[in-house]
Each structure stands twice: as C-alpha cells, then as structure tokens.
Structure 1
Amino acid sequence: MEKDLIKILKKFQRDEITEYYTYIMLSKIGGENNKDTLIRLAEAEYSHYEFFKQYTRCEIKPNFFRAKKNYFMAKYFGLTFGLKAMEIGEQKAQSNYKDIIKNLPEVQKILEDEENHEIEVVGLLKEERLIYVSSIILGLNDALIELTGALAGYTFALDNSKVIAMVGLITGIAASLSMGASEYLSSKSEKNSDKNHKRAAIYTGLTYMITVSFLVAPFLLGLTPHIALFLTLITAVFIIFVFNYYVAVATGASFKKRFFEMTFLSLGISTLSFIVGIAIKNILKVDS
C-alpha cells in the first residue's frame, strides 16, 4: 500500500480513537438516559479504529487535547451542543473518506456509518435545556428588543446614567416576572408538550433577568449615558451572536438568518426609541 495512503489512514485512525475516548468521557456526564447511547457511539468509533488498524498495522494514540476540549465543551455548554460541534468536524473527515474510496472501497462502509448511524443515535439524546429552548428564546428575544429600546428612550429622556440604570432594572424585573407568568400560562395550554410549566416559566423569566443585567450594566460604570448606551448595544449584538451560534449548532437552525433578524429588530427598536425619547422630552419640555 502507498505510503501517502497509509499516512492518511493513520490520521483517520487517530480521529476515530480520539472520538472513542471522547464518547467514553461524555458517557460519565451525560446522565443515565444518555449513557447507553454514548457508549454505542464509542463502540462504533472503536470499530472504525480497528478497521483502519488492519491497514496501518500499528497502534495510534488519541489526541487527548481534542478529546478533553470536546468533553469540556459538552460539560459547560450542554451535551447536545458538544456532540453537534463534533459532528461539524466529522463532516470534514467524511469528505476526506470519499477521496480514498477509489483506492480502498471498504471505506464506503465507514462513510455510511458516519453519515447515518451517528446522526440517528445523536437524535435520540434528550437534554433539558433544548426542551426548553423555545422558552429561553422567548425570554432572550423580549429582553433584547424591549430593554434595548427602553434604555435608548430613557437615555434621551432622562440623561442620567444612574437614573437610567434604576428605571431599567425596575422595568426589567417587572417584565421578567410578567414574561415568566405568561410563559407558564402559555405552556400550560399546550397539548402533547414535554415541558414542565413551572420550569418553562423559570427558564423564560431567568433568561430575561440575566439579559437585563448585562444590558443595564454599562449604565452602572459611571459612564456618560450615550457611551453607556453604545456599550449596551454592543453587548446586545454580542449576546445575539453567542446565543444564535449556540442554537444553530445545537439544533441545526440557520445562524445567519436568526442573527441578522434579531439584530435588526433589536437595533431597529432602539433607533425608534431614540426618536421617541427625544420627541417626548421636547413635547413635555422636560429639562435634564
């Protein structure tokens, strides 16, 4: 067998044993419901490793750095997110498999496993945070759109950072409680839903409150209202980016479409609120 082909097969072999160790580690944090599924994934990867070993005729050590990186990603960002992120990397490997099928037709079986088996098995995983992702999105969307708009309006109407922060927090706390109650009633009316009504309300209200805290924070730093507002808008765009990246990876949703849609709405409402704040201040002839 050609040396170049052996080199490629060794790389594939290392990828497979790395993923084997990754799934074994994940099976220890994935919960009882997911443990068997993750072990099945590990066994599939190990069988792929053994397949390539027939041709390379050597043992290959795993990439422990990558395995631990995947492990910590799943531990801190969620099991499904970690696995989906791994899938993205594996898609590149699949294209490489196709390149060597003409030299080694048996690789077709490995390719079929990578394309079909793992996707099906990963789809069996159940993770609480993804069950309630719609509740999280509700809290996040409303907080970003309502609070960025409200803070923009307050900036021009009040022109005092501490007062704006105080009013923003009062508005945010009241709105988070209201959103939590609304989500409780909404999820309770849903039929055939896996959601726990109280948890759905908590996810919505808590997400709203956390988002409010980040958005109001710049006004508590002793900055001028306009600079604080600028930082708030940057924070809002950053939150939108991070959250939509998470959702895109974990659920397969379109990142670009959701990111630009949420950013446009949030900044658009803020711009309108700028204008409303100035107009109300001038109409009521309120001095700063």
Structure 2
Amino acid sequence: MTSNNQPDAARLSPAALAQIRAFQQNEVTEAEVYRRIVRRTKDAGNRDTLLRIADEEAKHAAIWQRYTGEEMRPQAGKVRRYALIALVFGFTFAVKLMEKGEAKAQISYEELAREAPEALDIRADEEAHEQALLAMLDEERLSYVGSMVLGMNDAMVEMTGTLAGLTLAMQNTRLIALSGLITGIAATLSMASSEYLSSKSEGREDAFKSATYTGIAYLVTVALLILPYLLFDEAHYLWAMATMIVIVLLILVVFNYYISVAQDLPFKKRFGQMAGISLGVAALSFVIGILVKQFLGVDI
C-alpha cells in the first residue's frame, strides 16, 4: 500500500492486475446497463431495485479503480445489446442473462485476495446482496409464464400431431395448411376461453389477461408450425413436415432457455420433456395418417 492508504498497482502481479481491470470494466458496464433499463421501467418498485443494483455495481467498480488507477467508460456495444434484449424479452431475462455471462475469473478469488483483500468481500456481496435484489424483481410477463407455457405446449402437442397426420393423409401442402389453420384458430379460441373460465372460477381478477397470454402463445405457435406448408410447393409435403419439426425444436430451445434464465429453472430437463411429448405425438399421428390413408382408401 502507498502512504495515502491507496493500493499500489505496481505491486500487483500482471495476472492480478489484468483480472482486476476486467472486473472493473465489467462492473462499470453493468451499472450503466441497469441505469439504461431503468429508463423504460414503469413500476416504481422495480425501478428502485434496479437502481440499487446499479449502485452496488458502481461501488464495486470504485473499489477496483483504487487498484488500477484508471477511470473506465461503459462498453457501449454491450450496453446497447442488453438494453435491446430487455426491450424485447423483458428486463428480468436481460439482467439475469448478463449476470450469468459476466467475465469469469482467470485466477481464483482466494488467490486474488492475497494481493487485493477486498476481492472476497466483493464476491460475497455479489453472491448474497445482488442475488437477493434480483429475486425482488417482479415483472408482469413472468407472472404469466404458466399461461404462456400452457398455450405453447398445447399448440405444440396438438398441432404437431395434427399436421403430421394431415401430411400423410392429404399429401398436399396447401390443403394441409388450410386444414391446419382452421384447426389452429378454432383451438386458439377454445384454449383462451377455457383459460378464462378456469381463472374466473378460481376468483382471479386477471382472468382476461391470463387468457390473452395463453391465446397469443397458442396462436403464434400455430402460425410458426403452419408456415413451412405455405412456403413449400404442393408436392414437397415431406420437406414441409421436416421443416415443421425443426421449428418445433427451435421454439422449444428458445422458450425453455428463456424460462431457465428468467426463472432459474433447469434447461435440459424441461426441454427433454417437452420435446419428447411433442415429437412423440407427431410420430404417432404420422403413423395414424398412414393407416387411415391405407385402410380407408382415401386419396386426396
């Protein structure tokens, strides 16, 4: 230490100094990300929590700056990227994704603490205080994840099965798309109304909003699954079905990754369960389509 009680960067090993610089840059950038997200956050409680986390990040950056003697600016590209993610997917997903992807230590905190004693205190602060603050975030869209899962999962199971069965029964992409679209719209209305009645019977005041989230999730899934049958010509129905299966897997990957990050849930287990059910039903319906066409002698 120097005579004014400030750490002496010259006494740090190159590895420790490089790690501290990385930590400082990360803290400065994340503090700015939180402040940027606050600008679009309407709920007062969430705004307060996000600002408190930003202050924590800034405090840690100030501690690291005592070692580096450098004043760092936020990384503009990273700030814009996470601000955009927050706008599209919600601030809870954005900040938790950012925290998961923050710079990893090249040397252990214990080893760094030999040269920078505050390292262990900062790690403990981040693991306890900041995580507690993140848990306080209350974003509306995450309150209706159950409704979205219900709509998306039902659409996956019903529409992959329906479209797979229709593919072999009709062997014409336009007819399959038309039948699937009619079925999908009717099922969307049925699913949304069922969710509304179910929520209403439970005395929930947000029954309409819950039904809306369910219906939108169902309809978007239906549209994505039918899309390949509109893009391929009439004779390439098997290519359309194969593309539909790929879309199913992509939806499952994206949605389950979103849920796993936003709600701290296991990704692989949820993805495996949903993929197994959806693809299993599709395979069974495909076989049924073959049998129906064979035994009933229907040729469209």
Q: TM-score, normalised by structure 2?
A: 0.90
Range with greater deviation from structure 2 (61-70 or 85-94) = 85-94
Alignment of 1:44-63 (within 5 A): 44-63=56-75
Instruction: Provide the rounded CA distance (Å) in 2 between the counterparts of 1:3 and 1:145.
Output: 58
Whether 1:204 and 2:214 are equivalent positions in the alignment is yes
Structure 1 residue 113: deviation in Å? 1.3
**Which amino acid counterpart does residue 39 of structure 2 have in structure 1?**
K
Instruction: Provide the rounded CA distance (Å) in 1 between the counterparts of 2:57 and 2:135.
Output: 17
Q: Is the 8 A contact 1:73 1:82 kept in 2?
A: yes
Q: Is the 8 A contact 1:152 1:229 kept in 2?
A: yes
Give the gaps of 5 or more residues in structure 2. Answer: 1-10
SS at match of 1:103: coil
Q: Could you say which residue in structure 1 is the equivalent of 2:6?
A: none
Range with greater deviation from structure 2 (160-169 or 4-13) = 4-13
Alignment of 1:114-193 (within 5 A): 114-190=126-202
Q: Could you say which residue in structure 2 is the equivalent of 1:70?
A: 82
Q: Could you say which residue in structure 2 is the equivalent of 1:2?
A: 12
Structure 1 residue 159: deviation in Å? 1.5
Q: Could you say which residue in structure 2 is the equivalent of 1:270?
A: 282
Relative to 1, partners in 2 of residues 1:111 and 1:197: Cα closer, same or farther, differing over 3 Å? Answer: same
Q: Could you say which residue in structure 2 is the equivalent of 1:107?
A: 119
From 242, 256, 263, give the equivalent of 1:244. Answer: 256
SS at match of 1:92: coil
Q: Is the 8 A contact 1:135 1:200 kept in 2?
A: yes
Whether 1:24 and 2:35 are equivalent positions in the alignment is yes
Instruction: Provide the rounded CA distance (Å) in 1 between the counterparts of 2:107 and 2:177.
Output: 52
Q: Is the 8 A contact 1:94 1:111 kept in 2?
A: no
SS at match of 1:287: coil
Whether 1:217 and 2:227 are equivalent positions in the alignment is yes
Structure 1 residue 270: deviation in Å? 0.7
Relative to 1, partners in 2 of residues 1:118 and 1:139: Cα closer, same or farther, differing over 3 Å? Answer: same
Relative to 1, partners in 2 of residues 1:222 and 1:22: Cα closer, same or farther, differing over 3 Å? Answer: closer
SS at match of 1:154: helix
Structure 1 residue 242: deviation in Å? 0.8
Using the aligned pairs only, state the percent identity: 43
Q: Is the 8 A contact 2:23 2:103 kept in 1?
A: no
Instruction: Provide the rounded CA distance (Å) in 2 between the counterparts of 1:11 and 1:216.
Output: 47
SS at match of 2:104: helix
Instruction: Provide the rounded CA distance (Å) in 2 between the counterparts of 1:161 and 1:8.
Output: 57
Alignment of 1:77-88 (within 5 A): 77-88=89-100
Which portions of structure 1, spanning 4 or more consecutive aligned residues, are displaced by more than 6 angstroms?
Answer: none
CA RMSD of aligned residues (A): 1.8
Instruction: Provide the rounded CA distance (Å) in 2 between the counterparts of 1:3 and 1:95.
Output: 11
Q: Is the 8 A contact 2:19 2:106 kept in 1?
A: no
Instruction: Provide the rounded CA distance (Å) in 2 between the counterparts of 1:172 and 1:32.
Output: 36
For residues 103-129 of structure 1, the C-alpha deviation after alignment (integer angstroms, 9 at most, x for no partner) is: 322222211111011111111111111
Q: Is the 8 A contact 1:139 1:205 kept in 2?
A: yes
Relative to 1, partners in 2 of residues 1:93 and 1:188: Cα closer, same or farther, differing over 3 Å? Answer: farther
Instruction: Provide the rounded CA distance (Å) in 1 between the counterparts of 2:212 and 2:278.
Output: 23
Matched residue count? 286
